[in-house]
Amino acid sequence: MSKRPKILVTQRIPADAYSLLHSIGEVEANMDEGIIWSPEELLRRAPGHDYLLCLLTDTIDARVLETCASASPRLKLVANMAVGYNNIDVKAATRQQITVSNTPGVLSDTTADLAFALLLATARRVPEAERFLRAGKFTGWGPLLFCGAEVHGSTLGIIGAGRIGRLMAKRAGGFDMHVCYYNTRRLPADIEASYRLTYVELEELLRQSDFVSLHVPYAPTTHHLIGERELALMKSSAILINTARGPVVDEKALVHALQSGRIAGAGLDVFEHEPAVEPELLSMENVVLVPHIASASFKTRTRMAMMAAENIVAHAQGQRPPNQVNG
């Protein structure tokens, strides 16, 4: 009888995934809600496990991978419960013959929903108005009370027209928005037509858009994709939306652009040095901030956890994980 594999789950996840993992192995899990293990804690706990189910907020660096690869049993797969996997040193994993998997596709609609919610909330000053009302300051209707930006009929610029970017465009169609996009590769004409997308170069997109929404993966080529120069190209009435990755935006440059009136506002789900946020952003009324919740619906988070678990189960059964990203 073969020995059941040992599985480590680094953060608390939806319950259904534990049942699947228990069916094929012995599970050790961090059950403390909101507690993220440091790299040192991971280095202490992870060696001796066959499988590691982690999240984007876990740092799985070369040191962790190399130590786990030399332990017994050796680490065989890191299942990331996220689309992105820049938290994992994939090259180091590949060198150590450790498989890495992710959970693509399942969170696209939910993330596009949140991106559009940020656009609406920032444009129409919803959080600011709610704080005003809760503070007891509302004494009656006024013609200029919390006037915001028009959404319907405006121009939305989408940077990164993958799954989520296209779904953002689809939502914009319901508001009769004009949608332009920039991508490293132009989309086929039939896809452009289907989503009513107009291709423009990045500089032109920044100049003509009332709203700029970021949907690119994080990589060295997208680090500070939006910096001082790019912000200076935007309309002074424009609003920046980021549900991609924090380091895609130079946060200090964004603070300066907002403080100087270079742009009108921002809606942010992710931050450059997450979970830390530039202190100036916290006090700005023209910025809507949420704590990395783009995929946070019960249905989506459960499906993400199940996909991560299914990648582990497939590997344990001698199959290629459905969402393997290396090898």
* pLDDT 10s digits, 263-302: 999 999 999 999 999 999 999 999 999 999 999 999 999 9
Contacts of 160 (CB under 8 A, 6+ apart): 182, 183, 214, 215, 216, 217, 244
55-103 pLDDT per residue, tens: 999 999 999 999 999 999 999 999 999 998 999 999 999 999 999 999 9
Tokens of 196: 């009513």
pLDDT for res 2: 60
Domains and CATH numbers, the chain: 6-105+299-316 (3.40.50.720), 108-289 (3.40.50.720)
User: What is the residue whose two structure tokens read 């915001």?
Assistant: 148
Strand 6-9 and strand 51-54: the pairing is parallel
Under 8 Å between Cβ of 6 and 28: yes
Catalytic residue, from 125, 166, 215, 292: name it: 292
292 is known as an active-site residue: yes
Report whether pLDDT(1) > 80. Answer: no
164-186: average pLDDT: 97
Which is catalytic among the residues 41, 274, 278, 280? 274
Q: What percent of the chain has pLDDT over 70?
A: 99
Query: Which residue reads 């066959």 in tokens?
Result: 50
Whether 43 shows a pLDDT value over 50: the answer reads: yes
Catalytic, 245? Answer yes
**Residue 306: band (very low, low, confident or very high) from pLDDT cuts 50, 70, 90:** very high
pLDDT at residue 34 tops 90? no
Distances 177 to 122, 174, 209, 236, 267 between C-alpha atoms, Å: 16, 8, 10, 19, 18
Q: What is the mean pLDDT of residues 201-229?
A: 97
Quote the mean pLDDT of the chain.
96
Catalytic: which of 245, 262, 303, 315? 245
What pLDDT sits at residue 187? Answer: 98
Strand partners, 157: 180, 212
Predicted pLDDT at 327: 80
List C-alpha distances in Å: 17 to 9, 59, 305: 10, 21, 6
Helix axis angle for 298-316 and 108-123, nearest 10°, is: 150
**63 classed as catalytic:** no
